[in-house]
């Protein structure tokens, strides 16, 4: 299992468009991937799950992966979040 924390950089957070990019990236990997905000953990490959966390700009989230490509998955998703989704 590989875990990394990242601050959401874009102002509006993980609303529909950035959440879609996040989920598309997560689905490129074979590992099971979760997003955790405070004590809630959801499947990072589920749009409704990610949106249900209500992640706004400035929020710290954890990206957690477990599987064959867990480190690559977490690093790629953290990089995407840290980039502010190019917004």
Burial class (CB in 10 A: 0-12, 13-18, 19+), 18: buried
The residues assigned a catalytic role are 15
Please name the residue ranges forming H helices in the chain: 16-26, 47-52, 70-82
Cα dihedral across residues 23, 27, 32, 33: positive or negative: negative
List the structure tokens of 34.
Answer: 């979760």
């Amino acid at each position: 299992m590989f875990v990394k924390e990242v601050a959401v950089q874009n102002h509006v957070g993980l609303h529909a468009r950035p959440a879609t990019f996040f989920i598309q990236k997560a689905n490129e990997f074979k590992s099971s991937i979760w997003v955790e905000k405070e004590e809630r953990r959801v499947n990072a490959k589920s749009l409704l799950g990610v949106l249900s966390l209500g992640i706004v700009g400035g929020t710290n989230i954890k990206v957690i992966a477990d599987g064959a490509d867990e480190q690559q998955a977490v690093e790629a998703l953290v990089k995407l979040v840290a980039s502010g989704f190019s917004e």
